[in-house]
């Protein structure tokens, strides 16, 4: 199954596409979209849409995974701005017929690391372990997007083709992942 994970934000939106088959996880592509802050809101959202629609068209994922919206009352403006980016992700997914699945951050952390209170660094390291790749040079938005995709694969591993509920094998050498930055 091909899974698209997206960590939406107006300043930076991370995305990652993975293949989850036969008990293994593999990165297909990953990157971050950084629309220039000097552009008008509509232009920034259009750039985000164009990149994500292009990724969806090129990679043909089966579904999109998003982090469920949550916010503290002190950060309502941030949540509103993130909501614009989330809407673009939902639109691009819907226009390509992709179902959208949402997970709360604690569920993602627990699925990836085994601990719902894991730090961003712990999550990034475990994403690298699951995907057998070096994530040390990737932007946090990219590793967060990959974590969403990995979490979905882990939470649904019994439903994946030939997965049999097994954990991904670990290799001693990590693959190099080319991050694509747009913007």
Catalytic residue set: 7, 67, 141
What is the pairing mode between strands 100-103 and 63-67? parallel
Following DSSP, what letter does each residue of 151-168 receive, concatenated?
Answer: HHHHHTGGGSTT-TTPPP
Question: Which residues, in sequence order, are bridge partners of residue 6?
Answer: 15, 66
Closest CA to 131 of 31, 7, 19: 19
CA-based Rg of the chain, rounded to a whole angstrom?
Answer: 16
128 CB neighbour count, 10 Å cutoff: 20
Tokens 């990590």 locate to 174
Query: Which is nearest to 52 in space by CA: 22, 14, 20?
Result: 14
């Amino acid at each position: 199954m091909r899974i698209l994970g997206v960590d939406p934000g107006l300043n930076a939106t991370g995305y990652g596409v993975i293949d989850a088959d036969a008990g293994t996880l593999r990165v297909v592509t990953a990157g971050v979209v950084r629309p220039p802050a000097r552009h008008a809101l509509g232009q920034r959202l259009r750039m985000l849409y164009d990149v994500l629609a292009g990724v969806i068209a090129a990679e043909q994922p089966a579904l999109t995974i998003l982090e469920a919206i949550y916010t503290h009352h002190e950060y309502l403006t941030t949540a509103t701005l993130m909501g614009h980016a989330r809407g673009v992700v939902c639109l691009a997914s819907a226009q390509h017929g992709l179902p959208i699945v949402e997970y709360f951050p604690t569920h993602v952390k627990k699925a990836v690391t085994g601990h719902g209170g894991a730090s961003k660094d712990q999550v990034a390291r475990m994403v690298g372990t699951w995907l057998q790749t070096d994530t040390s040079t990737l932007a946090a938005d990219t590793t967060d997007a990959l974590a969403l995709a990995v979490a979905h694969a882990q939470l649904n591993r019994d439903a994946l083709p030939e997965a049999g509920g097994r954990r991904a094998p670990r290799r001693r050498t990590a693959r190099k992942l080319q991050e694509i930055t747009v913007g």
